[in-house]
């Protein structure tokens, strides 16, 4: 045993691998290995089937939106969708989602007349009638959304009261909603 070790030691004498050469060898080995792979693949004919599979694989790796630009509209929708997601139904800003908007009434003279009639042609804030005021009442959008023409989002106001609703909008919205619920 002792002899054998000495023998080996003799054989390798003067042939000690430096750290550098070890690194080179390891690199060389790796290279050969890689080349081996290349060679192994080389000459293997790609059938239509494999070509199709490979292209499918590549396609799958690509970003689906690559090359497709988001339009402003799409971006808006996405941001709205996000808002809905994060705010949830418990949020005060939640109104059931745009696509479920139950109000499709057009804000026109007929609708205004309907609201004024419902409110007995009386300002719902100071209770003066159109007769007293001498002009038709304004129809105020409680949530300030001109597209939300639901009957419970509209209220008849005189010019004076209506002009006041331009200040402290959030307070007025809450105020009118509470008023309706009484």
Residues composing the chain? 182
Count of residues interacting with Zn ion (CB under 5 A): 5
Q: Which is nearer to Zn ion, 95 or 138 (CB)?
A: 138
Residues 94-133 as x/- pattern, contact with Zn ion by CB under 5 A: -----------------------------x-xx-------
Q: How far is the CB of 113 from Zn ion (least distance, A)?
A: 18
Binding piece for Zn ion, criterion CB under 5 A, among 64-72, 139-147, 152-160, 171-179: 152-160
Q: Which of 109, 99, 107, 122 is nearest to 154 (CA)?
A: 107
Stretch that binds Zn ion, among 10-18, 101-109, 137-145, 159-167 (CB under 5 A): 159-167
Half-sphere exposure of 177 (CA within 13 A, CB side): 11
CB of 173 to Zn ion, least distance (A): 17
Q: Does 161 bind Zn ion (CB under 5 A)?
A: yes
Half-sphere exposure of 174 (CA within 13 A, CB side): 6
| Cα–Cα distance measured from residue 162 to residue 155, given in angstroms and rounded to the nearest whole number | 10
Site string for Zn ion, 15-54 (x = CB under 5 A): ----------------------------------------
**Per CB under 5 A, which region of 56-64, 99-107, 157-165, 172-180 contacts Zn ion?**
157-165
Q: Is 139 helix (H, G, I), strand (E, B) or coil?
A: strand
CA proximity to 123, closest of 51, 179, 43:
179
What whole-number distance in Å separates Cα of residue 98 and Cα of residue 94?
Answer: 10
Residue 155, exposed/middle/buried by CB under 10 A (0-12, 13-18, 19+)?
Answer: buried
The footprint of Zn ion (CB under 5 A) covers: 123, 125-126, 158, 161
């Amino acid at each position: 045993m002792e002899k054998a070790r000495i023998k080996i030691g003799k054989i390798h004498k003067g042939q000690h691998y430096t750290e550098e050469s070890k690194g080179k060898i390891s690199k060389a080995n790796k290279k050969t290995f890689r080349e081996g792979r290349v060679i192994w693949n080389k000459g293997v004919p790609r059938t239509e089937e494999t070509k199709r599979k490979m292209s499918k694989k590549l396609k799958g790796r690509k970003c689906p939106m690559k090359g497709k630009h988001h339009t402003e509209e799409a971006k808006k929708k996405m941001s709205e969708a996000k808002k809905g997601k994060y705010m949830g139904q418990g949020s005060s800003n939640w109104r059931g989602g745009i696509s479920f908007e139950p109000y499709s009434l057009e804000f026109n003279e007929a609708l205004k007349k309907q609201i004024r009639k419902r409110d007995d042609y009386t300002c719902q804030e100071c209770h003066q009638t159109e007769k007293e005021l001498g002009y038709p009442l304004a129809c105020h959008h409680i949530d300030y959304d001109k597209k939300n023409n639901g009957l419970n989002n509209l209220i008849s106001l005189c010019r004076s009261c209506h002009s006041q609703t331009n200040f402290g909008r959030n307070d007025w919205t809450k105020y009118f909603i509470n008023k309706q619920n009484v």
